[in-house]
Amino acid sequence: MMKKALAFIMAMVMVLALVACGNSNTDPQTAPDDTTPTETTAFKIGGTGPLTGGAAIYGNAVKNAAEIAVEEINALGGIQFELRFEDDQHDAEKALNAYNTLKGWGMQISLGSVTSKPCEATATEAYKDRIFSLTPSASSTAVLVLDSDADPVTYKDNMFQMCFTDPNQGSASAQYIFDKGLATKVAVIWKSDDVYSKGIYDTFTAKAAELGIEIVSDTTFADGNDTDFSVQIADAQSKGAELVFLPMYYTPASLIFAQAKAAGFAPKWFGVDGMDGILTLEGFETSLAEGVILLTPFNADSGDAKTAAFVAKYQEKFGEVPTQFAADAYDCVYAYYQALTAAGCTTDMSAADICSAMIKQFTTMTFDGLTGEGMTWDATGAVTKSPKGMVIENGAYVGLD
Amino acid sequence: MSFLNFLISGISLGSIYAIIALGYTMVYGIAKMLNFAHGDVIMVGAYICFFAVSRYSLPPLVGILVAMVICTLLGIIIEKLAYKPLRAAPSLAVLITAIGVSYFLQNAAQLLWSSNPKVFPMFFQRMVSKTTPDGTVQIVPVNGIDLFGGELRVSYVTIVTILVCLIIMLALTAFTGNTKMGKAMRACSEDKDAARLMGINVNTTISVTFAIGSGLAAIAGVLLCSAYPTLVPTTGSMPGIKAFTAAVFGGIGSIPGALLGGLMLGVIEIMAKAYVSTQLSDAIVFAVLIIVLLVKPTGLLGRPVREKV
């Protein structure tokens, strides 16, 4: 009898543990609307992102920075925001659950999702529900596209990005390598089951061909196959690549650096925004990333007063230097602030009404933020701003230009 | 030369699979259950060793011992709480419970140690002084042996992993062949009811099996993370599944089979990547597995099981 009881308790504990993990943030703290009908003085911003799991560093950066921006804006006394951020563990299905939780809460405007795959899923729903979305960091074009089979391709009218789209990153990287004369023989290692990596890879290779940069080695890896890179490194090395382009997140990149060093291969490394964060890896020997070049719109070390104030506040609150993801999220909230003010939106408006006002604002306005001056958006939702080249020197980012 | 280099990479990857597969196969061979949480016990072992060495600056060997002790205790606790009450239940129930334990450990690790990746320290390297061309003497870490004037390179981790694999394999074979507890384990694996009739305490025997399996998991965790130094709460799950494949490949339940299966899986994976396509390597690995299982359903070294009617 005891044993059965114990087994039952254990089973319950595990079920609860699983349930808790799935919805760790769905506390019933947000009371239903009927109990607090007058509490609608703040715009409800919702967003999903990986707060736990392998990509948690991005989700937490976005959440933290958005909180700072909301606090600052609320302290100004004008438009008020209420932020709610749900965990999606970088999983499309969990992101949809999180999105529905936010919808039930009464989300009026959205920060979309932090990473591309989940954001594709939530963007489709937000399009149907007419909730305006501005994602800080989901950079895949698929996030913006409504129907990729249509000719010409149609785009969701209410989905906007604060970050570069992947195609932009890929072609900008190739252009940068060409302009600075970094290499003529290039190797690419990319993640074949990741829309983010594939998107950058496609445009990088297209642009490289156009500019006459020779891609001598082209190798891939995938989930579950991302620990041993000896073959990819040997291929790049034996074909004489001078530069290796790494369109991927920093976790596999850290392994590539370590294994390349062990194999005695020391090319120039060139990363994309997913590389941002590698220096915060606990126990990572930063000398491995020495000389890594990446394109990013944000430089925490820049002398700019706004940036310095944000970095100081972030460091004080969260004990680390904010990454580009954090800066993008901070900009998102301020872009909303600017657009809502200009459109004269009020908190009692429905999400759909705010949505049409925001579409009009974002396609016409110019925004100055931490990640660029004079940003504009086109009707597809893609942003125009100029990337900055950065290089890692002595364990810190240094601007190249 | 590049072929030999790929062969060495394959063997080093395979030796990691093999050492994990040993734990899988031992528990399966004796308790007749698939302990899907094995990969996650490996992850816990790696974390314990990581914290012991980089936070409390203990020497690596002490770190490994601490990890082994804690993993053994963890294995005993998991077995007591999750598997023992299900001894009489159908094996499917135990399998699902094992998956539950696996998720439980992953998420507990995430809560305790956060999901931010940690980089495992390098244990297997030695410091040598090198004279640079301009005459200064530098102390640099060397983590492998160069052969043929640097054309081939075998890392210390690979050598240590293979040696540890062989030692564990021989020790397990000797243990199950010669000691009283080992004989009891073999008896349980043949027929639990008959073993019980012969006066063997089946419960204790299975608990000891789990304890040993979990202790081995700690060693596997340290070696896994020494070879591929990024440590996250899901570190153990994918190598765990690959190692399980390796165990099936070699014949699950067979201790030498785990070693053979692990090495072959690693070599096939690297060769497929090197000579066919990096994109298709997993497909090729599993296609080979399917072919082997079609021809030899019990795996390479597995013993055929006669169904009693």
The verdict on A277 and A256 lying in the same domain is: yes
Q: Is the pLDDT of residue A229 over 50?
A: yes
Are A54 and A156 contained in the same domain? yes
Mean of pLDDT over chain A: 84
> What is the mean predicted confidence (pLDDT) over B147-160?
77
| Among A3-12, A131-140, A353-362, the least confident range | A3-12
Cβ–Cβ under 8 Å, residues A279 and A257: no
In angstroms, what separates the C-alpha of A239 from chain B's closest C-alpha?
Answer: 12
Residues A342, A281 share a domain: no
Mark yes or no for CB contact B228/A54 under 8 Å. no
Best B40, B230, B267, B286 residue to mutate vs chain A (most A CBs within 10 Å): B230
Range of the domain at B219: 2-295
The pLDDT value given to residue A95: 92
Q: What's the average model confidence in pLDDT over A96-103?
A: 93
Q: Is residue B58 part of a domain?
A: yes
Q: What is the CATH number of the domain that holds B268?
A: 1.10.3470
For residues A194 and A147, membership in a common domain is answered with no
Q: Give pLDDT, residue A339.
A: 92
Which chain B residues touch A258 with a CB distance below 8 Å? Answer: 229
Residue A38 has pLDDT above 70, yes or no: no
Q: Are residues A149 and A172 in the same domain?
A: no
Q: Are residues A194 and A281 in the same domain?
A: yes
Those residues whose C-beta lies under 8 Å from the C-beta of residue A126, and which sit 6 or more positions away, are A99, A110, A112, A132, A133, A158, A159
Q: Is B273 on the interface with A (CB under 8 A)?
A: yes
Per residue in A174-183, pLDDT (tens digit) is 988 998 888 8
How far does the CA of residue B165 sit from the closest CA of chain A (Å)?
Answer: 19
Q: Which domain holds residue A206?
A: 167-296
Domain tally for chain B?
Answer: 1
- In angstroms, the separation between the Cα of residue B69 and the nearest Cα of chain A is 24
Distance of CA B1 to the CA centre of its chain: 29
Per the structure block, which two tokens stand in for A370?
């931490």
Mean pLDDT of B252-273: 89
Give A63's pLDDT tier (boundaries 50, 70, 90). very high
Q: Is residue A17 domain-resident?
A: no
The pLDDT value given to residue A31: 42
Test the A interface: residue of B116, B245, B275 with most A CBs within 10 Å: B116
How far apart are the C-alpha atoms of A111 and A160, rounded to whole Å?
A: 9
- Chain A nearest-CA distance from B140, in A, is 12
pLDDT over threshold 60, residue A222: yes
Q: Take residue A154 and report the two structure tokens written for it.
A: 């149609």
- Whether the CB of B230 is below 8 Å from some CB of chain A: the reply is yes
Given a contact cutoff of 8 angstroms between Cβ atoms, the answer to whether A162 and A194 are in contact is: no
B36 inside domain = yes
Residue A82, in any domain of the structure: yes
Out of A3, A14, A232, closest to residue B85 by CB: A3
- Residue B251 inside a domain? The answer is yes
What's the domain count of chain A? 2
Q: What is d(CA B147, CA B151) in angstroms, rounded to the nearest whole number? A: 6
Least-confidence region, from A286-295, B70-79, B122-131, B248-257: B122-131
Contact present, A137 and A115 (Cβ < 8 Å):
yes
**Which residues of A fall within a CB distance of 8 Å from B227?**
227
Q: Give domain status of residue A320, yes or no.
A: yes
For residue B302, being part of any structural domain is answered with: no
Whether B300 is covered by a domain: the verdict is no
Report yes or no: B238 at the A interface, CB cutoff 8 Å: yes
Q: What is the CATH number of the domain that holds A253?
A: 3.40.50.2300
Residue B44 CB: number of other CB atoms within 10 A? Answer: 28
Rounded Cα–Cα distance for residues B70 and B193 (Å): 32
- What pLDDT is recorded for position B308? 55
Tokens of B229: 């130094």
pLDDT value at B147 more than 80: no
Q: In angstroms, what separates the C-alpha of A354 from chain B's closest C-alpha?
A: 36
Token digits of residue B164: 């540890």
pLDDT at B173 over 70: yes
Query: At A4, is the pLDDT very low, low, confident or very high (cuts 50, 70, 90)?
Result: low
Buried b (16+ CB within 10 A) or exposed e, A146-163: eeeeeeeeebbbbbbbbb
What are the pLDDT digits (tens) for B185-215? Answer: 888 888 888 888 988 888 889 889 999 999 9
> Can you name the residues that pair with A81 across neighbouring β-strands?
A43
Instruction: Tell me, yes or no, whether A366 lies in a domain.
Output: yes
pLDDT > 80? residue A163: yes
Residue at A394 is within a domain: no
Which residue is listed with tokens 């970095």?
A311
Q: Which of A296, A327, A353 is the last residue of a domain?
A: A296
The pLDDT score that the predictor gives to residue A32 is 43
Q: Which helix (H) or strand (E) holds A138?
A: none
In a domain, B305, yes or no: no
pLDDT higher at A24 or B9:
B9
What H or E segment, with its residue span, contains residue B155?
strand B152-155
Chain B residues whose CB is inside 8 A of the A219 CB are 273, 278
Quick one: pLDDT at residue B70?
95
Give the CA angle between residues A168, A174, A178 to the nearest 5°: 140
B6, B9, B154: best mutation site toward chain A, by most A Cβ within 10 Å? Answer: B9
**Mind listing the pLDDT tens digit for each residue in A13-37?**
555 555 444 444 444 444 444 444 4
Distance in angstroms (rounded) separating the CA atoms of residues B155 and B124: 8
The residue of A90, A190, A221, A225 whose CB has the most chain B CBs within 10 angstroms, and thus the best one to mutate to test that interface, is: A225
Residue-level pLDDT at A12? 56
Which residues on B lie below 8 Å from A11 (Cβ)? 97, 100
Give residue for tokens 């190692």.
B243
Judged by CB atoms closer than 8 Å, whether chains meet at A254 and B84 is answered as: no
Q: Which segments within A211-344 are labelled E, that is strand?
A: 214-221, 243-246, 268-271, 293-296
Q: What is the pLDDT of residue A6?
A: 54
